[in-house]
């Protein structure tokens, strides 16, 4: 049975922080807000983990926007993912795993509308076997069931498989609970790195993960 290589999306395959920064610059200018709005949004973003309804409720109140919260969130879901940026070596890296016989899945906590745009625009969707978006399957990382769903959908086994991601709780603890070896990318959430969330490897970039998985 083919083996499974799973990848988180935001701040693993794509540079989420940079995409958010670019969107903030663009949006603040379009809304005609002052430069203080840029700093304010970064402070209140919660690294992307704060619910967007909550974020835009605060934005609306702080800057006196007229649009209702649902409209602001809806526009964000369509406009922000367009700024998704990816290292050009990532797509060939994913493709090389498939060529070597691996089943490749993206496993991301998030909404279908927003994550689908990122996956399509960056070219990731075209080179992986399955994109597992938590909103679509009704399960979120670190619940090990989401990794089992990816295995079932791709016809792979989790035995001797990998999970690669930037979050110690969602990606690393979740992957370990599902029986996968794990690779932590970057240092985005140092406070979440506990002794029971120690990855098999820790690299600065996802590009370093591809040869390690290929050699395993
Ligand atoms: Mg992430």
Tell me: pLDDT of 206 over 90. yes
Q: Could you tell me the pTM of the whole model?
A: 0.94
Q: How far is the CA of 2 from the centre of ligand 1 (A)?
A: 25
Which residues on neighbouring strands pair with residue 143, listed in sequence order? none
Condensed to tens digits (0 to 9), the pLDDT of residues 9-60 reads 999 999 999 999 999 999 999 999 999 999 999 999 998 889 999 999 999 9
Q: How far is the CA of 64 from the centre of ligand 1 (A)?
A: 31
In degrees, rounded to 5, the angle at the alpha carbon of residue 55 between the alpha carbons of residues 21 and 11 is 40
What local confidence, expressed as pLDDT, does residue 149 receive? 98
| Contact (CB, 8 A) for 182 and 212 | no
Domains and CATH numbers, the chain: 3-15+86-215 (3.40.50.1000), 16-83 (no CATH)
CA separation for the pair 8, 211 (Å, rounded): 17
Q: How confident is the model at residue 195 (pLDDT cuts 50, 70, 90)?
A: confident
Q: Which residues surround ligand 1, an ion (CB under 5 A)?
A: 8, 10-11, 166
What local confidence, expressed as pLDDT, does residue 79 receive? 96
Q: How far is the CA of 142 from the centre of ligand 1 (A)?
A: 12
Q: How confident is the model at residue 182 (pLDDT cuts 50, 70, 90)?
A: very high
Q: How far is the CA of 38 from the centre of ligand 1 (A)?
A: 22
Q: How far is the CA of 112 from the centre of ligand 1 (A)?
A: 15
Tell me: pLDDT of 193 over 90. no
- Cβ-proximal residues to 181 (8 Å cutoff; 6+ apart), any chain: 160, 161, 162, 163, 175, 200, 216
């Amino acid at each position: 049975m083919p083996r499974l290589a799973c990848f988180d999306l935001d701040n693993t395959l794509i540079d989420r922080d940079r995409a958010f920064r670019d969107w903030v610059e663009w949006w603040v200018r379009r809304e005609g807000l002052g430069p203080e709005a840029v700093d304010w949004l970064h402070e209140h973003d919660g690294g992307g983990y704060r619910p967007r309804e909550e974020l835009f409720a605060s934005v609306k109140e702080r800057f006196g926007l007229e649009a209702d919260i649902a409209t602001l969130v809806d526009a964000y879901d369509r406009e922000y993912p367009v700024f998704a940026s990816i290292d050009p070596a990532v797509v060939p890296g994913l493709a090389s795993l498939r060529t070597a016989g691996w089943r490749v899945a993206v496993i991301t906590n998030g909404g279908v509308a927003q994550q689908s745009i990122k996956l399509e625009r960056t070219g990731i969707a075209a080179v992986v076997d399955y994109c597992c978006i938590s909103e679509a399957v009704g399960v979120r990382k670190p619940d090990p069931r989401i990794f089992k769903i990816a295995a079932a959908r791709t016809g792979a086994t989790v035995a001797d498989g990998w999970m690669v991601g930037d979050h110690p709780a969602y990606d690393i603890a979740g992957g370990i609970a599902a029986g996968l070896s794990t690779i932590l990318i970057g240092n985005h959430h140092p406070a979440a790195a506990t002794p029971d969330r120690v990855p098999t490897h820790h690299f600065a970039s996802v590009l370093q993960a591809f040869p390690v998985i290929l050699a395993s």
